[in-house]
Amino acid sequence: MTSKTEPHADPWGERLPRRLGLLSAMAVVIGSTIGSGIFRTPAVVAGGTGSVFSFVLAWVLGGVVALCGALSYAELSAMMPRSGGSYVYLRRAYGPLVAFLFGWAQLLILRPCAFGAIAVTSSAYSWRTAGIDGSARFLGGPMSLEQITAVGLLVVVGAVNARGVRLGALVQNASTVLKMGALFVLVLLGLVFLASGRHSGVPSAPAPAVSGGFAAFGLAMVSVLWAYDGWSDVGYVSGEVKEPQRTLPRAFVLGTLAVLTLYLLANAAYLSVVPLAKMPGSELIAADVAEVVLGPAGVLFVSGAVALSTFGTLNGSMMTSPRIFFAMAEDGVFFRRFSTVHPRHGTPAASIALAVVLGSVFVSVRTFAELADLFVIGIWPFYALGVIAVVLLRRREPGAPRPYRTWGYPLVPVVFLVATAFLLGNYLVLEPLQFLGNLAVVATGIPVYLLWTRKSARGDAGAKAPELERALSESADP
């Protein structure tokens, strides 16, 4: 049962306090998106593209796809400004089973993978900035310094966000400003290099042959879309955004546009210093660019920038993803304990603690690249279902309040869906075992859901989903 000390639901059925304004909401989009990807992914993308044109095209297409997704999700968020984001949209459009499978995938694959990849990267570059080998085993034990530090970072951001969404937003806003500043510095370094009249950077870097070809371009797009992922995250904290029907669409669109602009500028700076043929040999392309212009101090600068950037992304992910578990518990398809609101801080503290535990477990499971691929391939089918929901709900509920309607409809959703079909189809052909393995893990949620709802029907879990769905369907401007 819900504690009497917890707040009553607002007109949209939300019990968490609304404390985030437009700038904080935009910081969630920008800060959750810009992590380590733009500092290292260009080297991976260069390995799958055969020319500067296709390299730039990949980044432009990735940004356009992300923007199409953001424009579509903006409509859904304004209709349903509830904590849980995609979970809430999928439940409204397809029913509780599909929504549960999304939450199940988040629980078993997506969020643990994201937390693991982000925390390990932030930890690794923190030690690199300090000039210490973080891969060394701590006291000869089973875990490295990087792994232990990654767990520590998860605990820190978990504690910050459990103390209140305002404190989490303060950390997010500060880290977002700093990481945007670091990217602008890289752009300026590229301009300085061009102005110097020098012809080529990193002369000692190896120049492996790029793959090229349609299939290789498709795999390169997986890395690009990992770098752009985060455009949907503000939807998870919709229930804590002030004036949500006005603020959320702006945050989705303006935040994504800011990321697209920064990414294109950063890649222009990289290309001005490092020839495309040499990029695949640069594990951390941003460090190579900074080293060419600033010397060894440039490597130190970029290592610190990556550590700070990924810490901000980790904080953003901790602000958003626990709300999925919170929404599931409110619907009665997850342990009720995770639907509680902290009586003092107004946060889903139990769900945040669960996210910390999941991330800590995955920290030592896989490499960064494996974690990133698992996340992208696991989340995009649900992104596609969310965009289809825009079309489905317009037909099924034409009279429902829509404070914002997707700009460019229906072309914008179609562009997103075509890109998703290409991405997933290409990955299915080239990596069938991993793709089907992800689907199999998601499918294991079907019997779990059936068992859980059967238990709820007996009165053991107190089903609350029907009331919530009616509240969502009947919600209008307060």
Measured distance CA(470)–CA(466) in Å, rounded:
6
User: Where does the pLDDT of residue 2 fall: very low under 50, low under 70, confident under 90, or very high at 90 and above?
Assistant: very low
What was the pLDDT predicted at 467?
Answer: 47
Measured distance CA(388)–CA(262) in Å, rounded:
29
Measured distance CA(328)–CA(78) in Å, rounded:
20
Query: Which residues, including other chains, have CB under 8 Å from residue 201's CB and lie 6 or more apart?
Result: 193, 273, 274, 275, 288, 289, 292
Measured distance CA(49)–CA(45) in Å, rounded:
6
What was the pLDDT predicted at 457?
Answer: 67
Q: Which of 162-176, 275-289, 404-418, 453-467 has the lowest mean pLDDT?
A: 453-467
Q: Which of 200-209, 229-238, 383-392, 455-464 has the lowest mean pLDDT?
A: 200-209
User: Where does the pLDDT of residue 452 fall: very low under 50, low under 70, confident under 90, or very high at 90 and above?
Assistant: confident
Measuring CA to CA, which residue among 283, 306, 291, 382 is closest to residue 84? 382
DSSP 107: I
Single-letter amino acid code for the residue at 383:
Y
**Each residue of 92-116: pLDDT tens digit?**
999 999 999 999 888 877 777 778 7
Query: Which residue ranges make up each domain of the chain?
Result: 22-473
**Each residue of 35-87: pLDDT tens digit?**
877 887 888 888 888 789 999 999 999 999 999 999 999 999 999 999 899 99
What was the pLDDT predicted at 466?
Answer: 47
User: Is domain 22-473 annotated with CATH 3.30.460.10?
Assistant: no
Beta bridge partners of 144: 137
Unique residue bearing structure tokens 């500067």 = 52
Contact of 99 with 91, CB cutoff 8 Å: yes
**CB atoms closer than 10 angstroms to residue 268:** 15
Q: Is 197 left (phi over 0), alpha (psi -120 to 50) or beta?
A: left
Burial of 373 (0-12, 13-18, 19+ CB in 10 A): buried
pLDDT at 460 > cutoff 60:
no
Per-residue tokens: 254: 């303006």
Contact of 173 with 27, CB cutoff 8 Å: yes
Per-residue tokens: 478: 């307060």
Q: What 3-state DSSP class applies to 63?
A: helix
User: Where does the pLDDT of residue 3 fall: very low under 50, low under 70, confident under 90, or very high at 90 and above?
Assistant: very low
Q: Residue 130: what are its φ and ψ, rounded to 5°?
A: -80, -5
Measured distance CA(172)–CA(163) in Å, rounded:
14
Contact of 96 with 465, CB cutoff 8 Å: yes
State the number of CA atoms in the 13 A half-sphere of 290 facing the CB. Answer: 22
Q: What 3-state DSSP class applies to 20?
A: strand
What was the pLDDT predicted at 7?
Answer: 64
User: Where does the pLDDT of residue 198 fall: very low under 50, low under 70, confident under 90, or very high at 90 and above?
Assistant: low
- When computed from its CA atoms, the radius of gyration of the chain, rounded to whole angstroms, is 22
Contact of 120 with 365, CB cutoff 8 Å: no
- Strands annotated E in 316-390: none
Which pTM does this prediction carry? 0.84
Mean pLDDT confidence for 409-437: 86
Measuring CA to CA, which residue among 42, 100, 34, 70 is closest to residue 413? 70
What was the pLDDT predicted at 64?
Answer: 96
Treating both helix axes as pointing N-terminal to C-terminal, what angle do 165-196 and 244-273 enclose, rounded to 10 degrees?
30
User: Where does the pLDDT of residue 157 fall: very low under 50, low under 70, confident under 90, or very high at 90 and above?
Assistant: very high
Using omega within 30 degrees of 0 as the cis cutoff, is the peptide bond preceding 343 cis?
A: no
What was the pLDDT predicted at 135?
Answer: 65
What was the pLDDT predicted at 315?
Answer: 92
pLDDT at 188 > cutoff 60:
yes
Measured distance CA(264)–CA(260) in Å, rounded:
6
**Each residue of 371-393: pLDDT tens digit?**
555 566 678 889 999 999 999 99
Contact of 2 with 467, CB cutoff 8 Å: no
Tell me how far apart the 2 most distant CA atoms of the chain are, in Å. Answer: 76
